[in-house]
Structure 1
Amino acid sequence: MPRTARGTRTKRHASAAGEPIGTGPRLGEVAYRRILEGLFDRRISAGSFISQNELVRLLDLPIQPLRDALRVLETEGILKIHPRSGIEFLKADLELARSTYQFRSIIERSAVRAYAETADANEIARLIDMHHALLEQLEIDSAEECLDAMEELEQQFHSSIIASLRNPMIETTARRLKNYVALIRLDVTATAPRMIRTIREHLDVLQACEARDQEAAEAALAHHFQAALQRILGMV
């Protein structure tokens, strides 16, 4: 049976979630990751209202690093802190999906033009090979078995394009958008046909970049984001 894009999986987050809490500046970073992991693994329900004490018990975190991480996540729009009341976590809706994919498209359409012009040919070839390898894997294995590889492929594809702008502010924004995408996909069923369509759309972009055709690369990426949003909305 197909499962949701992140569902109740904990494997991908096991290393950080099991990381011991020590001392020093890393405490807030560990707390930040554990909160997101709890949200994406559904230990914390999207849209839920929960107290700080409940989060301390659920995520095995000291209170001060938890508070520091909560303040950061509030600035990123993942949650809202209600003083003396609790923490309200964001629940994705259609408007968030539209806004997120529109913003991603604005950033990456500019980035893919730079990528098509300047990316190392060997890097483009490596990404193309990775996409073909996953297509072959999907002919043998189930969508569930390929899900981790698909997520890693998407991460490498989009981060490589964004990195071509060499702009730390944009990279920071892209990381925040990635958290929104993860929330949006919580209730999206991962199926082999959807994965295959995504991979082929990526290949259209990469092949245009390989040909150093900036116009075609931008057009292919714009189509990819439009199609991805339609998949999120259940239109295809």
Structure 2
Amino acid sequence: MYPVAPLTPKALYEQVAEQLRQRIFRRELAPGSWIDELKIAEEFGISRTPLREAIKVLAAEGLVTMKVRRGAYVTEMSDKDLHDVYHLLSLLESDAAAIVAHTASAEQLQQLQALHAELERSTGERDQFFAVNERFHMALLEIANNRWRDQLVADLRKVMKLNRHNSLLKQGRIEESLTEHRNLMAALQAHDASAARLAMQSHFENGLQAAA
């Protein structure tokens, strides 16, 4: 019988990882910037051990890049990286949209419609629009009910946020995105799996053009 480690609240390194993750998303740690372990450890009042564990978590998510003998840096997204992430998200989420169109109950479609209505009301505030948009996409994935796809999409969306502030800088992109969501909702409510798949693919294709 192996000894059982005591159960504790959320591990310190996970809390540190979330703090750093949010700093990266807010651009307080900019793409390409070096992560000063000593400075951050002192700021958080922790040893470098949990900080290094936190950095490993972020590296596994793709948010941090480890460079030999140079340390950890916030990942910079190349054009190829951006295309690759959008390509995979398009494949995964368009498949989920087709499944939802085919299998969703009236209550589940009502849940998505409520999120869509909230998105319609969020067009005046970019950060709020991003947040509601992500909730919509994650709700759709939850309804599609494939935890392995959910895990892949969650990690890819974290990486996508490295470039997210560029994606709505294109004039009129929020309005275009909203139109794409309306087309998607219409396909879902019509239980048209092919149209839902195509609507989601178009959504990501247009998003990539705006973000590139």
Q: TM-score of the superposition, structure 2-length normalised?
A: 0.85
| Selected match of 1:51 from 32, 36, 39 | 36
Q: CA offset at residue 192 of structure 1? A: 7.5
Please list every run of at least 4 consecutive aligned residues from structure 1 whose deviation after the TM superposition is greater than 6 angstroms. Answer: none
The one-letter code sitting in structure 2 at the alignment partner of 1:103 is L
Q: CA offset at residue 220 of structure 1? A: 0.8
RMSD: 2.3
The one-letter code sitting in structure 1 at the alignment partner of 2:136 is F
**What is the DSSP-based 3-state SS (H/G/I as helix, E as strand, rest coil) of the residue aligned with 2:32?**
coil
Give matches, 1:34-183, under 5 Å: 34-58=19-43, 61-82=46-67, 85-136=70-121, 138=123, 143=124, 146-183=125-162
Give matches, 1:1-40, under 5 Å: 24-40=9-25
Worse-superposed segment, 110-119 or 50-59: 50-59
Q: CA offset at residue 221 of structure 1? A: 0.8
Once the two structures are aligned, what percentage of the paired residues are identical?
24
Q: What is the distance in 1 between the residues matched to 2:190 and 2:68?
A: 55
Change (3 A) 1:152 1:78: closer
- Equivalenced residues, count: 205
Q: CA offset at residue 73 of structure 1? A: 1.7
Q: What is the distance in 2 between the residues matched to 1:83 and 1:180?
A: 21
Structure 1: tracts of 5 or more residues without a match: 1-22
Q: What is the distance in 1 between the residues matched to 2:45 and 2:153?
A: 29
**What is the DSSP-based 3-state SS (H/G/I as helix, E as strand, rest coil) of the residue aligned with 1:92?**
coil
Q: What is the distance in 1 between the residues matched to 2:166 and 2:45?
A: 26
**What is the DSSP-based 3-state SS (H/G/I as helix, E as strand, rest coil) of the residue aligned with 1:202?**
helix
Instruction: Give the aligned partner of residue 181 of structure 2.
Output: 202
Q: Is the 8 A contact 2:96 2:144 kept in 1?
A: yes
Q: What is the distance in 2 between the residues matched to 1:60 and 1:202?
A: 45
**What is the DSSP-based 3-state SS (H/G/I as helix, E as strand, rest coil) of the residue aligned with 1:183?**
coil
Structure 2: tracts of 5 or more residues without a match: 1-7
Instruction: Give the aligned partner of residue 5 of structure 2.
Output: none
Instruction: Give the aligned partner of residue 204 of structure 2.
Output: 225
Instruction: Give the aligned partner of residue 20 of structure 1.
Output: none
The one-letter code sitting in structure 1 at the alignment partner of 2:13 is G
Instruction: Give the aligned partner of residue 3 of structure 1.
Output: none
